Amino acid sequence: MDESHFEFLLADNRDLIIIKKRFTGTNSTEVHVLSAKDGYKKWSLQTGTPLHETDDSFRFLLAGNRDIVVLKLRACGTNSTEVHILSAADGYKKWSVQTGTPLHELAAAPLPIGPKGDKGDTGPAGPAGPKGDKGDKGDKGDKGDKGDKGDIGPTGPAGATGPAGSPGSAGTINLEDLKGRITDSAGKVPVTFPRPCSIQLPDLVHARIVLAQDYQDPTAIPPVNLPKGTPLVPVITNKTTTGFDVTARDTNGTAIVNAKVDISYEAFEFAL
């Protein structure tokens, strides 16, 4: 099970809210909460929701009251990006809002395709059996052994996956809220872990970026004019055992440069 099946939200009290989107026991999108006060060793909630299992056309945000805001980006009944809110007060069992918006549906970002593996060599044909003597009909020769089939080349990876952690372990976990960071001229912010990974690069890094002040870029195509508090699209690159880079983009893919942003992230040395 890979990281695309999960999303991670961080509550104000640092509880870690894990959204399991598919391959669930309840046949719904599930909410699982790791308790910060118990050192992330215990679940404080595990529940199914009214939302069916979901794919990458959905995004999940956490409100201050712990309501989960679900954004449906495409294939919507309203032909627009939709907002659906799962009520924390009702244990995520009921919707408090379901509505379309003035924002059009959003296309999926293209994903890189790994190289195709080499085709394995075909095994050699076995030798033919001996031909019978002419005259009396000879015995039919034994059919030669069929050569071994060549190995099929491996499918190219869609992205490197590290070794699994020991059962029940996520290795080193880093969770931070970074306030007032400034993106560079490419929209990038470097992030350094307070606790470096001890064995390998982190299997799973999930980040959220929000504008910490109003932002304008009239030179962008199209021009960008976003208010404070606007969620941005994080693009994570250059993962190391000590940190990663995250680039802030708007929904059109435009880099948000020289901007003041708030970043929150979770990094797991081993995927769950």
Tell me: the pLDDT tens digits for 169-210?
557 888 899 999 999 999 999 999 999 998 899 888 889 999
pLDDT of 171 reads 76
> Quick one: DSSP state of residue 145?
P
**Which whole-number Å values give the CA distances from 171 to 2, 203, 272, in the listed order?**
16, 10, 10
pLDDT of 110 reads 64
Ranges of residues in the chain with a pLDDT under 70 are 1, 109-170, 271-272
pLDDT of 233 reads 94
pLDDT of 210 reads 94
pLDDT of 161 reads 42
Q: What share of the chain is helix, strand, coil (3-state, %, to 5)?
A: 0, 40, 60
